[in-house]
Amino acid sequence: MLKINNLHVKLEAEDKAILKGVDLTIEPGTVHAIMGPNGSGKSTLSYVLSGRDGYVVTDGTATLEESDILDMEPEERAAAGLFLAFQYPVEIPGVGNMTFLRTAVNSQRKARGQDEMSAADFLKVIREKAKTLQIDADMLKRPVNVGFSGGEKKRNEILQMAMLEPKMCILDETDSGLDVDAMKLVSDGVNALRDAGRSFLVITHYQRLLDHIKPDVVHIMADGRIIKSGGPELALDVEQNGYADLLAEAEAQ
């Protein structure tokens, strides 16, 4: 599904390398988690993959189902099936959540050469999906993320994911700012989308989220590289012992 090869990235504004050779292969239908200390480059990886300005790829490749995504515009990557659930969803006053979602869904359909979804069909689908995420009609009508609580913003991200039906979902610290109940709700929303043709990359600081969204593979990222990969037990190890041993181990190599 997603194949990242020797990815090197620096900031555009200053000559500072953030990613220093990331290698990562995510098979269809699998869930990968990335953990790592602050400043290790986890969020940068999600931004670079989704096409945010301000980063320069100095080496390496990233392909989504064999297509090179690094040369694409952000909207082209989205249409190709990539989705990033933001750590800090952006507020857009004056644009209704529903209008925004319909514009997004139809833009992607158009880019893929499909017919636009009619207003009636769209309404039917969104109502159903919103219900399972406990998003009420008022939240759909309100301007995008304006006045939403932290939990509502994250649920709204998952609703977008559910509506856009991407192939490759990246969740950037979706658990930050969520209470226990909200985390369960969001995780249920994510789990409902798991299927053989869809992959997930879950970026998190805490093992707790991985109790709800069970990963197939866990990676530890430090200083712009993936230093260790393993099964779910790796996350438990980090939770108990912290990163110190892993970092020392990586240093020694």
Partner 1 sequence: MARAELTQDATEARIAALDLPKGGKWATSARNDALARFRAMGLPARRDEYWRYTRADALNQPTATEASLFDSRETMVFDKVDRLRIVFVDGVFDAAASDDLSLAGIEIERLATAAQADIHWAKDLYGVLETRGQTPVKRPFAALNSAFATDGVLIRVTGAAAKPVSLIYQRGSTQADAILHHVIKLEKGAEMTLLENGPAAARFNKVLEVDVADGARFHHIRAQGRDHERRAATHIFAQLGSESQFKSFTLTVNGILTRNEAVIEFTGDDAVAHVAGAAMGDGDFHHDDTVFVTHDAVNCESRQVYKKVLRNGAVGVFQGKILVKEGAQKTDGYQISQSLLLDGDSQFLAKPELEIYADDVACSHGSTSGAIDMDALYYLRSRGVPKKEATDLLVLSFLAEAVEEIEDEGLRDEIVGRLTGWLARRGG
Q: Shortest approach of partner 1 to residue 43 CB, angstroms?
A: 13
Q: By CB under 8 A, tell whether 103 contacts partner 1.
A: yes
CA 104 – CA 19 distance, rounded (Å): 30
**Segment contacting partner 1 by CB under 8 A, of 22-30, 103-111, 122-130, 214-222:** 103-111
State which residue, 82 or 190, has the beta carbon closest to partner 1: 82
Binding track, positions 27-56, relative to partner 1; x by CB under 8 A = -----------------------xxxx---
**Cα→Cα distances 52→56, 141, 160, 189, 200, Å:** 10, 28, 18, 26, 19
Among 43, 97, 108, 199, binds partner 1 (CB under 8 A): 108
C-alpha–C-alpha distance, residues 206 and 208, integer Å: 5
Report the residue number, 17 or 92, with the smaller CB distance to partner 1.
Answer: 92
150 sits near partner 1 (criterion: CB under 8 A) = no
Q: What is the DSSP letter of 142?
A: S
The one segment of 20-28, 95-103, 185-193, 228-236 that binds partner 1 by CB under 8 A = 95-103
Does residue 122 belong to the site contacting partner 1 (CB under 8 A)? no
Minimum distance from CB of 74 to partner 1 (Å)?
A: 4
Q: Whole-number minimum distance, CB 232 to partner 1, in Å? A: 29
Q: How many CA atoms lie within 13 A of 164 on its CB side?
A: 29
Task: Return the residues of window 63-82 that contact partner 1 according to CB under 8 A.
Answer: 73-75, 77-79
The label of the residue with tokens 């990033």 reads 84
Q: Which of 39, 59, 111, 136 binds partner 1 (CB under 8 A)?
A: 111
How many Å apart are CA 193 and CA 56, to the nearest integer? 32
**Among 29, 100, 165, 206, contact with partner 1 (rule: CB under 8 A):** 100
At residue 26, φ and ψ (nearest 5 deg) are -115, 120
- The span from the CA of 209 to the CA of 172, in Å, is 12
Return the SS3 of 159: helix
Cβ-based nearer residue to partner 1, 56 or 104: 104
Question: From the CB of 99, what's the least distance to partner 1, in Å?
Answer: 8
H helical segments located in the chain: 42-50, 74-80, 97-111, 119-132, 137-141, 150-164, 180-193, 207-212, 233-241, 244-252
Rounded distance between C-alpha atoms, residue 116 and residue 104, angstroms: 11
* Contact footprint for partner 1 (CB under 8 A): 50-53, 73-75, 77-79, 83-84, 86, 89-95, 100, 103-105, 107-108, 111, 143, 160, 164
